[in-house]
């Protein structure tokens, strides 16, 4: 038992670290530096939304359905709805960024420093073109900062959702390793590691686009991944059974679906108002990426994630 516990912790930690590897891949991409514009950020949001919806409907909910003997479907639906409500509460707890509209109300002159009388305006002192250019520059910078703040808020919610998703994955690896050691735990850990890497990309991409910081992007992905080994201790400490794990999976699916449909996808559409088709294409790409990855893992290792 003691040796299998070490194996369980090691395998779940390795699977979780692959999330950071996904984040590292994002920041090391050759075109990553140039992909920090608002339109590109919106496309990342669309891809992330599709990825999380795919994860919910191609992975978590099928697993919930397969376990309907342990947890009846009405109870699973209730857990899904409760997960969505938990996200709605979480969304209210995470403060909205200071929007451009609020900034305009706080600074009617559009400069945000102080108001000038007509006799002492910058245009009167420095020429007719000074004030408009200063105002345009300030508004552009304020718009960029608002976009980045919105993206960071979404990235935080995405990180929390994927971290919650990683918790039952860690429990699954632990259950396999504790019962069968490497023989049962290793294939499942490899499969989970392979599909954790794109999760790291989904977290790191908007963070890197918003902050232009490689360290922050990889750190956020790492935090979500390190929740996975915590699943080992949750499983042992709370003695969770299959019924409880199934309810947890349904709740996480509700959280991810709510996040994608009410936060990520609407933001992606706002950032690409003139090109909604591009956003929906990215959304579909994210779903297909998740479906393809799950299929490859299942065929290669014979495990259900």
Of 214, 227, 244, residue with least CA distance to 19:
227
The structure tokens listed for 11 are: 């395998």
- Sign for the pseudo-dihedral over CA of 237, 227, 298, 257: positive
Classify residue 37 by its DSSP letter.
S
Q: How long is the chain?
A: 305
**CB neighbours (10 Å) of residue 174?**
28
Q: What is the residue extent of each domain of the chain?
A: 2-98+158-301
The span from the first CA to the last CA of the chain, in angstroms, equals 24
Query: pLDDT tens for residues 145-191?
Result: 666 777 788 888 888 888 888 888 888 888 778 767 777 678 778 87
Alpha-carbon distance of 43 to 156, in angstroms, equals 17
Give, for all 305 residues of the chain, the pLDDT tens digit.
Answer: 567 888 888 989 998 999 999 899 888 876 655 544 567 777 878 888 898 899 899 988 998 999 899 899 999 999 999 999 988 887 787 665 544 434 443 444 443 434 444 444 444 444 555 555 555 554 555 656 666 777 788 888 888 888 888 888 888 888 778 767 777 678 778 878 877 888 888 888 888 877 888 999 999 999 999 999 998 888 888 777 888 888 988 998 999 899 899 988 998 898 888 888 999 999 999 999 889 888 887 777 665 65
| Whole-structure pTM value | 0.68
């Amino acid at each position: 038992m003691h040796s299998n516990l070490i194996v369980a912790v090691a395998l779940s930690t390795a699977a979780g670290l692959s999330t950071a590897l996904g984040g590292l891949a994002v920041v090391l991409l050759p075109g990553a530096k140039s992909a920090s514009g608002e339109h590109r950020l919106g496309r990342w949001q669309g891809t992330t939304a599709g990825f999380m919806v795919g994860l919910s409907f191609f992975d978590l909910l099928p697993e919930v359905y397969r376990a309907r003997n342990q947890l009846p479907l009405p109870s699973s639906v209730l857990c899904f709805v409760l997960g969505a409500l938990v996200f709605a509460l979480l969304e209210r707890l995470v403060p909205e960024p200071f929007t451009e509209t609020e900034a305009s109300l706080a600074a009617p002159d559009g400069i945000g420093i102080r108001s000038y009388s007509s006799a002492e305006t910058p245009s009167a002192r420095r020429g007719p073109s000074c004030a408009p250019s200063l105002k345009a520059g300030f508004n552009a910078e304020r718009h960029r900062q608002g976009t980045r703040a919105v993206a960071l808020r979404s990235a935080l919610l995405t990180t929390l959702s994927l971290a919650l998703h990683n918790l039952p994955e860690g429990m699954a690896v632990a259950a396999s390793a504790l019962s069968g050691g490497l023989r049962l735990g290793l294939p499942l850990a490899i499969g989970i590691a392979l599909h954790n890497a794109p999760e790291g990309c989904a977290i790191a991409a908007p963070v890197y686009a918003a902050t232009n910081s490689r360290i922050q992007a990889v750190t956020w992905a790492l935090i979500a991944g390190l929740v996975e080994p915590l699943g080992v201790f949750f499983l042992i400490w709370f003695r969770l059974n299959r019924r409880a794990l199934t309810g947890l999976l349904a709740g996480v699916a509700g959280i991810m679906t709510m996040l994608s449909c009410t936060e990520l996808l609407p933001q992606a559409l706002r950032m690409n108002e003139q090109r909604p088709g591009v956003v929906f294409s990215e959304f579909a790409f994210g779903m297909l990426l998740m479906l393809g990855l799950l299929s490859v893992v299942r065929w290669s290792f014979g495990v259900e994630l």
